[in-house]
Structure 1
Amino acid sequence: MAEGRHETLRGEAWTPQSRAEHDEDVLLSARGVRGERSLRLTGPRLGAVPPPVRRPRATPVTEPVVSPGRPGGGRRPADGPQQTQQTQQAPPPTHGTQQPQQSQRKSRQLPGQPQPKPSQPQPKPGQQPRPRSGRPRQPAQLDQPQKPQRPPRKLRSPRRSVAWITVLLSLTATGFGAYGLTTLVGGSSPCAPPLELRVLTDPDLKATVGAAADAYLTSAANTTGEGCRRSGITVYSAGSADAVTALRSETGAWHEPRDEDLNPQRDIGPQPDVWIPASRADVPRVTGGQDTDALARLEPDDRALAYSPIVLAVPTSLAAASLDERVGGPLTGMVDALRERHDHLEVRRPDPEFTDAALLATIGLYGTGADPGRVEQRLAPPGPPAPTAADLLCALPDDDAVDKRTAALVPEFLLKSGVGCDRTTRSPRTAQYPGDVPGLEPVFVRVRWEGADRDRAARDEAADGFRAWLAGEGGRAAFGAAGFRAATADRALLEADEAAAGVLPAPSLLIESAGRDAMETALRRYRDARGPGRVLFLLDSSGSMAGLWRGPSGGPGLLKQSLGGLGGRDEYGVWAVADGRGRAYETLLSFGPHSRRSAEAAIDAGARVRDAEADPYAALVAALDDMAERGAADDRPQLIVHITDDEDVGRLTGARLEDLLSRARLADVPITTVSLANGGCAAGRPDALISTASGGRCLDADDEPGSGLSAEVARTGTGE
């Protein structure tokens, strides 16, 4: 193109460019008949605007392009319209050369085609006509005298120019590999693109199901006799609670989103052909409450693909020593025993709304008669939980001290297959097997969508093939490599010879599967417990607090700092504790939702030191009764905060102390005591005993009470 000095309509140099049009094929070369090469370009689709044509300055000599079907003509591709190099068909060649002729018709040209010159001279008498070839002719002007002169510049023929374009594009394609080059020059693979299956699974299972799908794609079961794949598979995951809700009541919006706030295609992913939940109970959770006009129908398998128990993964230095302590006991009992061995033990669990494993663990945590709000407050850290078990195990080694004192509720298989995080050094862990926590039972569920019948037979064949492979030796190997157990009989490890350290090869596992009602109840109670909280602050306002009143470290200052953990939907109030006028307290801030600014303004305006003593026993008893009444109808988290200088702790002795401890154990409302005196939380002191009995926390001057109190309030509230 550069040597030919071709120009655009604007007079600029014509530079070849590649422009891909959607759904338009461009044929750069094609095999001709009888070995003769022929080259054609497919033009725009029917109805498209043709490219601009540069008008010739003189009547051109047209070189024939033989129409399809004639000797020497190129074969037309099976699909798509074609555009040849001229609009008028020339007469057939004579003796291999074209006779000059004049034509008043104007020929159409392709962009980049050289301008034709006037007719070429006739061969001299006796001279053999020059055969047709790919070599360019030397055009000459008819009115130019025949005398020795410098030969004119050779111009490449239209065929040769387009051939050079092909070479340029082919050289460019080498940068994209052999596949791109083959595509550009007209080669093609014998394999058609396979049908793609969409597989939705639980986030904890995504890595395992993805590895199984990769193995299946290249297996003999998914390969034809010609070496082509029968199907492709896309594996994606979404929060388990969101997936259940979408399949149960949002299939219409999933099929055709109509609302920006409700769009499962955006929030979950494409409509699945296959769903692999982590628990068999998820299927009745969907079908039990599914809309009558639902567009999705579930067809689950009868048997689970594999099994993995939910374990309490404990740092080996803190784990139970005897087999009886490690296997079969209730989860709450195991946790209590661990806390007795380590004062600062923490228990963490992923988000029950995001994975089935965390929701199954929550069933055991809540146990029989446990208060969800109190349970959630004792689970560290404050703020949102880790989304998956793998994320939780990845985060723990970021702090060695936390890693060594934290037990994690995770699926057993992760102790073998590990997690994909950057930390490889972590505290070794030992699995303890609670007897009241159901395990993971992934199951294959075929999802059929109303109106999706165009390729139903092919899609059914692809889904059935993947189902059979997962249920057979291929799936067994994939789940075994990840650390799963058999789904039936004694649920032995699928790869017992390569069991992870700290895992029992054959513990006495829970046989009963999770039920629909148990999972739904646990999820509802969790949402209530993580919802808006209630906090009642008791601020010691007796005369002895005068020296501990002002500044950020004084009583009101500590209280106001902790308000950042409470949001607009949380409810809280402040009592000023001082024994006067026959009452143990006065209301400083009425109980209810408040903005932080208005709450701080009320505290600044009304908080003052009274000329009276405090009665912590009477104030705490009244607070327990008040909170018990407020929380009788729901599972919202609750907290009592007592800020005191312990000057009146002498009123918490003997029978009064025993009565208060008994009430605290029964109320299921944690009490966090903030002692502004040194040693206020020492073992055996009333503050420490009350906090322990209620399941709360005791903070004194040695524990950075400001940050500690803010953390405790943040566990209860929703935050600013």
Structure 2
Amino acid sequence: MAVDAPGGPDGGKARRERLFGWLGWVGGTGGIAAALGADLSFRNRLLLFIGVLVAVPLVMTLGLTLRDRVPKRDLPRAFLRRLGRICGLLLHQSARAIPAILATVLVWTAVHWSFVTSGASEKSCEPADVRVTVSPESLTALKAAAHRYVEDKSGGGCRKATITMTANSSISDLREGFANGWLEPGVEGDTSERVPMLGPRPDLWIPQTTLAAKDVIAHLDEAQSDGQGDGQSDGQGDGLRGKALLDLDEKKTAGTSPMVVASLSDAYRGSGSTGPEGLQSVLNRLRQQGVLDPLARALPDTSESALAATPALYQALASGDGAAERFLNKDRLVPGDATALLCRFREQSSAPPGGIAVVVPENTLADYARNKELGTACPPLANAAAAKRLVPYYTEELPVLDHPIVQVRWPGEDSEKRRAAISEFRDWLASHPPTGEGFRDAKGSAPTGPKTALGVLRDPTRNNAVPPRMPPHEGLKGAKGCVESLKAARACYEAARPNAVLTLAFDVSGSMGQTAKPALPRAQDIAQRIVAAARPRDQLRWATFSSPAPVAFERPVTIATGPKQQEQKNALQAGIRKITLRGGDRALADTVDAMRGTLRPGVQHLVVLTDGQTARTNAGARLSPGRLAERLRGDKAQSDLRVLIVSVGPDGCSAGPAKAIGDAVGEPCIDGSAGTAADAAGKIISSVIESTPS
């Protein structure tokens, strides 16, 4: 075999091969550094490095072979011969370059030591923060699903994402939040003192129904056509006032859950009944058992699932919408969502309210039965065995909640990287619904097996078993005109509520700000939710009281029926947010008596929001609670005045003037310190509805 002389015809080719060999070594060394610093797991870095080592000689060999214009018939042989020579050269040069390679690795390691020891680079370990808003009733299940996602996507010391979940199912809150940059509603666009409305702005919103998503999207479209929420920033370039863009894909759902009627009584034992029945039939059977007194569901103003169930309940009760609504509020302590409704059974486990039936989502009932946390304010029982079992009743008319996963884009926050991270979690959740946490799949099929989350609701002694399938309905069930959309359901609910005249009186004495959890912000939060729930033609105003100043009333506002309605509510809420503390305690009985003489005659409610005060601060009161009650009963001009004392202080209604006055006037004190602000607002609103004649 002839050997080319260094200066012969092939000498230049040999030099080129040596040059490419050195370049290959340099590229290989660079490949090591690139692989170690890439945004990849260790396994993928290793594969990349091996790929570089293999690709470099192959590419060089192919390039040199083609450059020599070898005849096609000799191309394979020439390629293999040259590949062998180049590989040998690379191995020879790499052996000579081992010190340089080691030096490169040592320098890189010294610079990135903290990342090497943690098993990942800063870039690869920086998780995407995905913010999600869900309903309180699905929070427990979806938090568990998010935890599984984070575990599935984490490895090698890296967490790919963090999921932050907040809970809210008030459609009015969500409509205004998405339209106003997730800020508290302002007045005439004033953003100087506006604050985040419901926590961090969500990247994903998981309502309980597709109807709710469509309702909010329609509201945003209306706001856009009216020139509001146009996506413009507030002058700081951050899009704080921007309208959200919602992407609804009805095929992407977190799973389904039917609404059920639940009670402590089993009205079906031995009946031979199997599967869902008509809602009216279920209610009649419970009524015969003496259970349906009352029937309660959460407040539709703050609970999306309760609003969706309302048309079917009105139709099944068959007593007229107004009478049905008062019956649903007969308990007077209707909370903001189903988790708080079930929490009453948990809190009163020793003596639960046995005569009541409740309407709740199946998955929330499963959380209750498994002694899981309910929503944000109801922890599990220390003794799970103490919980009383609630029996579910499945109906043909109550809605099946379908939980669409809506992607949200905010002006100034939308980037390709964030969008990819959000879409990945959305797709994962749609393909991994939390059926292990009480949900059904998208078609309404329940997971099988006694150890599943829904297995706790099954009772082998009952003929009426948990239905294996509860497919979602097409729309809502109920009277025509109430079921075409969630907006139609809300209109029927508002029409069924009696008009209310409401005065919200705030205790602004210094004691309202002295506890670890100041009482005034709590009172303001509750009052703002009451304002948000006001229906057209309701009359609202607010007042403040403390000592020595006289009671200060604001001008009453009658809620309009048209577009001006939201402006009025925004103005009322903005005024309430600006209330500040001043003065000392003013005796509650004297305050109520002074207000009584100022209010116009007629059916109305005086809601007094106070920290409860103490006997010491009320020592100089002119009137005792009993004497106040006598004056109220003897005042013919104010015979229709109802006084609701709401204690937002740390002691609630356990003692003090607040409890004494409530007991004396026949309207028990409402504990506004327990549960969420939505729960407290719900209790006040239900008391107003039940005690207001139609």
User: TM-score by structure 2 length?
Assistant: 0.47
Query: Over alpha carbons, which structure has the higher Rg?
Result: 1
Question: Larger helix proportion, structure 1 or 2?
Answer: 2
- Larger RCO (CA within 8 A; separation ≥ 6): 2
User: TM-score by structure 1 length?
Assistant: 0.46
